[in-house]
Structure 1
């Protein structure tokens, strides 16, 4: 009888790295040798790291916690801090605030010392959770956590900019310099981007000069894109193009499609769409291929001018160039068609999306529903609502309220009941919706006697 080859701890790590399906990876981890009776499997630290990462990325958090507890009980090694930092990051991306704090607090229980690395993971996760209040609380007691480094201050400065507290951001910048911590390109990029967003372009360009002259830090593509966006926002297109030329001179920067996309959008907004083709040609010559965002900017520009033929032409060109349109591509056209009162064409495009290889998303449904309501196409709107609720989507409350109000004005309570039934079937009708409906209907009590009203609401 042929002897069955056992999977060793080293082999398990290799197999886990190759396995793309997190569920199959977990099954393999839990039972690496299902047909062999053996002693307790001696898992390696690398195997734990791999399976925890796969489960975290897949948001299989309950299973991830089970593996963490198992790793915690190991006595052959101490887990590395980076594994727990990754867990904090996974929870931060899913905005699981309580789990972020819990994981950070229990790092020491894994016989692992917390350093500035885990502090930075915590702060960045809190930033993803938009818990700026907690970030400030930690900052006020920062020395109790760890000695901050440049990464720490970059996160703190980013948090200050997100809360529109540029004065605080500058204070943090000055503080890191007093502590002898050298600002890096991320520090300057964050500040310059915030200044451009606040239309403080003179300060942004002054900081760009200072970072080179005083700190000997070279601007990267992100900084140039931020400045170009700021100039386009201020309708300073000539200066924006001049800055783009500065980027082209520096071969180390690498031209980003975001640069050209920003310029294309600005040209449309300034009524200079005739120059777009030249920008596209230069883009290709620079070895920068237009992406979905670039094409969407063109679609938006043509729709803004109600040039729908050109917008559809861009959709076709995307397919021909091997750049698949996404839901945003179609939603832009659908929204503009609805706004222009061309509901039939909007509905046709909406219905054609699956055939074009792009399923409508919640924005698609909400857009077409709102357009049909505005166009008083109630039967079609109810049909879209049925399909929408079936797929687990619901309209914006403002759209629904306007729809119900118009049905009441028309005195069509049959349609109103159909709407309520659709929402109820999908468990999409909540207390706020009921309050809205009863308030509107009660204002129309002249259409009913009291018993009819009660019966309708009970049903």
Structure 2
């Protein structure tokens, strides 16, 4: 079933789906015998419900057998897949790296309009991100967005954060950001900070600075993490004078800074031989009673 921790704090008819399932090349050293497979079919014949199918899928490690069981259930006249059964098969395919099956079954779930589909998509995104199956998470997000299920900003931020942490290609980060814009979702400062990190990682420093200057137009005010990204990125690229300008803007803006900012930025200014800035920040840190 879809786990109850789905909330992010801190994506054809059943018959046509079954007919289009691609069989995966066998890679299990101990694939189930026909007897084992038939026993599972017999069990389901006596009690074919979403919950019983999910239990059988859980007990089936072989992917081909899982697909065949899902297909068989799809062909039964009195059975309809639920959001939970789709969640289970998509999760199994995704964890095994079968991106095409993830996309196919996700599209199926959209077309079926099963109750609980949105929660299933969010749970899948969360699971794929947690296990760093980011290509699979991207497929789910696109399907969810194009299918009319509007992901929350939390969903986008979780995926953006994972992409940045894994140092994925900038195009992947930009793609997710554009999907967010397409969905009409307003970014938060967390969203824009991830975008800044990705821009610096891609060497697009001037574009990052331009994004920083336009934050207010997007309804966001830079925070300590914003300035940590900017100052660290500028100094790392020998643009120390510009980092001091940004530091001055930070002083004018005010706001609270955390220990992460101080421990990251103070040594950078000292190594860049900008002791005045380093000492001033150290005094601010002492005054804030962080140390």
Shift of 1:210: 0.8
The alignment of Structure 1 onto Structure 2 pairs a total of residues equal to 210
* Counterpart selection for 1:79 from 108, 126, 151: 151
State the secondary structure of the residue aligned to 2:288: coil
Render the CA deviation track for 1:49-105: whole Å, top value 9, x for unaligned: 343452793353xx5544223201344x52111222344345544442234334323
Matches within 5 A, 1:82-161: 82-92=154-164, 93-145=166-218, 146-161=220-235
- Counterpart CA distance in 2 for 1:82 and 1:68 is 12
Render the CA deviation track for 1:1-37: whole Å, top value 9, x for unaligned: 40223154357657877998242698478559x9xxx
- Give 2:34's aligned residue: none
- Counterpart CA distance in 2 for 1:40 and 1:203 is 58
- Counterpart CA distance in 2 for 1:171 and 1:71 is 42
Note the residue ranges of structure 2 that are not aligned, 5 or more in a row: 1-44, 55-81
- Give 1:453's aligned residue: none
Matches within 5 A, 1:52-63: 52=125, 54=128, 57-60=132-135
- Counterpart CA distance in 2 for 1:192 and 1:10 is 50
- Give 2:61's aligned residue: none
Which structure's CA Rg is the greater one? 1
Matches within 5 A, 1:198-277: 198=272, 204=278, 206-207=279-280, 209-218=282-291
Shift of 1:135: 0.8
State the secondary structure of the residue aligned to 1:123: helix
CA gap of 1:58–1:191, structure 2 versus 1, over 3 A, is same
CA gap of 1:202–1:169, structure 2 versus 1, over 3 A, is closer
- Counterpart CA distance in 1 for 2:283 and 2:124 is 46
- Counterpart CA distance in 2 for 1:179 and 1:200 is 21
> Under a length normalisation based on structure 1, what TM-score does the superposition of the two structures give?
0.38
* Counterpart selection for 1:172 from 228, 246, 250: 246
- Counterpart CA distance in 1 for 2:46 and 2:221 is 59
Shift of 1:107: 1.1
> Under a length normalisation based on structure 2, what TM-score does the superposition of the two structures give?
0.57
CA gap of 1:198–1:26, structure 2 versus 1, over 3 A, is same
The answer to which structure, 1 or 2, has the higher relative contact order (CA under 8 A, 6+ apart) is: 2
State the secondary structure of the residue aligned to 1:78: coil
- Counterpart CA distance in 2 for 1:208 and 1:74 is 49
